[in-house]
Structure 1
Amino acid sequence: MTETKSTEEKVIREQLVELLRGGSAHADFDASIGDLAPEFYTKRPKGSPHSAWQLLEHLRIALHDLLVFCTDPKYVAPKWPDDYWPAEEAHVEEEKWQRSVRAVKADLAEFEKLVRDHETNLYAKIPWGDGQTVLREVLLAADHNSYHLGQLVLIRKQLGAWHE
């Protein structure tokens, strides 16, 4: 690989990691979910289709699915939408919330490792996919996270549980 190609490759990988982490133009994962009191986990503002808990779990499930798709030749797609959204719950314990938070962070870290690994060809088609690349899946993960983190912030604002 030429030095220019190597530099370009390094830049794209760094930019992808930054995009996965979020926060450049909006609240990142930690800010979006951080210090939310447990009494707000399952509350839904009037007119909102989801609670903070449902959005967090959906983020966890979808992010994990994208990561497994990128890395496991035996990948089997979950059923849409049933397997991607949790059932509504009346109450969620803080430990259950924290487990979900830790799982999202762990999968984000795995995505970062995948992106930083120069053995990962970002542009090659994933052999068990339908033309997708790791690059596409990383962009999809970041976009999906951003979308739902925005919803989480809005829910928090509507519930009076957001700090400016």
Structure 2
Amino acid sequence: MEKDILITELKKLLNGGTAHVGLKDAVANLPFNLLGERPHQLPYSIWQLVSHIKIAQWDMLQFSKDGNHQSPKWPDEYWPKETAPKDENEWDETIAQIDSDLNEFIQLVENEDLFAQIPHGDGQSILREAFQIADHNAYHVAEIVVIRRLLGAWKN
């Protein structure tokens, strides 16, 4: 019973929580031409933030299920150098991969022992990785919302 409640709450948190916007809402109706903008000399664009979310979430997913997984090199391989996607197809594929990887991770949450240590880790568990994904994504999604506000492209 308690495990079911925990899983339900983790799924809500991973999908955007109840106290903050999720990625889907943060990028909804976002004009393509704004993806590469870096207002007020911010260090990254919305595209770079979304790409970073994709890479980091994929890394945490792979780590959680594959003892042979090699993480990208920090920080160079976690952040794209390009400020904008090359085309709308790349943007759509990136959003789709984030969604697909998140759904795959949620399957781990539903089917694995949340508290067991990941055998190839150093104390991590699926529960810890779930909190880390949710925390990391929420942090960068908030940055996306701020950039959208600065660009005048957020909800009023």
CA distance in 1, matches of 2:4, 2:125: 18
Task: Describe how 1:123-134 pairs up with structure 2 within 5 A.
Answer: 123-134=115-126
Tell whether the 8 Å contact from 1:29 to 1:149 is kept in structure 2 after alignment: yes
Which 4+ stretches in 1 moved above 6 angstroms? none
Q: Which has the larger radius of gyration?
A: 1
TM-score for the superposition, normalised by structure 1: 0.91
Letter of the 2:127 counterpart: L
Aligned to 2:62: 68
Q: CA RMSD in A?
A: 1.1
Cα deviation code 1:43-95 (max 9, x no counterpart)? 11013111000000000000000000001121112110011000033563111
Q: How much does 1:20 deviate?
A: 0.2
CA distance in 2, matches of 1:74, 1:125: 16
CA distance in 1, matches of 2:131, 2:25: 21
Aligned to 1:3: none
Say if 1:124 and 1:32 are closer, same or farther in 2 by CA, change over 3 A: same
Unaligned runs of 5+ in 1: 1-6
Task: Describe how 1:118-157 pairs up with structure 2 within 5 A.
Answer: 120-157=112-149
SS at match of 2:40: coil
Q: Bigger CA drift: 107-116 or 54-63? A: 107-116
Aligned to 2:46: 52
Identity of aligned residues (%): 42
Task: Describe how 1:20-31 pairs up with structure 2 within 5 A.
Answer: 20-31=14-25
Say if 1:92 and 1:156 are closer, same or farther in 2 by CA, change over 3 A: farther
TM-score for the superposition, normalised by structure 2: 0.96
- Residue 10 of structure 2, aligned match among 16, 21, 43: 16
